[in-house]
Structure 1
Amino acid sequence: MNIFISYTLRDEIVTVDYLKSVSKIVSNYGKPFVDIIDNKAKDKQKFVIDQLDKADLVLLLSTNSVSLSKWVKVEIDRANQNNTPVISIPLNADQAMSIGYIEAQLRTEMKRIRIIRE
């Protein structure tokens, strides 16, 4: 399962180190894609769209500034066009609690997806 992680770095909550922690948790459920970590392409924007088109699930790390990001809007719109499920995870300054919440939400979503596919 390909899991696209959508985020903005505008808030102090989401950092590269935090995204690495999220990616590690997500890797227990599928193959994560985090643009700032995994995108080594020359045409970075095209690569992001390609990854979105391959995604089975989009994990939106929702912070106060996420609605200000043009790219997050593009990513969510593309996911909706592709009928790709989007899980929105509200984040706060307590990163440890947020990581636990992300894991719980992914577990729930994976169970739901398995039920639908069976």
Structure 2
Amino acid sequence: MNIFVSYTTRDDYIDKELLESISDVLSTVGHCYIDLLHNTAKDKQRHVEFMLLQANLIILIASNSIFSSKWVRWELEEAKKRSIPIIIVKAEFDKINTLKNLELMLLSHPLFTIRTLK
């Protein structure tokens, strides 16, 4: 499964450290793409578009500023156009709680059959 993570770093509690932890968790269920971590292309926006087109699932890290980001809005609109499922994970100021929200979603969502995470 190809998982595209949509987020914004406008909220200071969404940072590289949290995104790396999210990537670690998601790697237990599929191939995870997070722009800040995985985009080394010269044409960064084209690469984001390509990776979004490859996605089977979008995980939206829902922080306070997601709808202030034109890129998040674009990613979600494109996912809807292409009928790519979107799962929302509530971001919290405490990174541990954000990761717990992600893990709970993975344990309870019908798209995932995994019942134990690393």
Q: TM-score, normalised by structure 2?
A: 0.91
Counterpart amino acid of residue 30 in structure 2: G
Q: Distance in 2 between matches of 1:40 and 1:86?
A: 25
The structure-2 alpha-carbon separation of the partners of 1:21 and 1:67, relative to structure 1 and needing over 3 Å to count, comes to same
Counterpart amino acid of residue 23 in structure 2: S
Q: Distance in 1 between matches of 2:89 and 2:69?
A: 16
Whichever structure has more helix as a proportion of its residues is 1
Q: TM-score, normalised by structure 1?
A: 0.91
Q: Distance in 1 between matches of 2:48 and 2:6?
A: 10
Q: Verify the 8 A CA contact 2:29 2:112 in the aligned structure 1.
A: no
Q: Verify the 8 A CA contact 2:106 2:112 in the aligned structure 1.
A: no
Per-residue CA deviations over 1:33-67 (Å, capped at 9, x if unaligned) read: 00011001111111101111110110000111111
Q: Distance in 1 between matches of 2:52 and 2:33?
A: 9
Q: Distance in 2 between matches of 1:103 and 1:56?
A: 19
Match of 2:116 in 1: none
1:89-100 superposed matches below 5 A: 89-100=89-100
Structure 2: gaps spanning 5 or more residues: 114-118
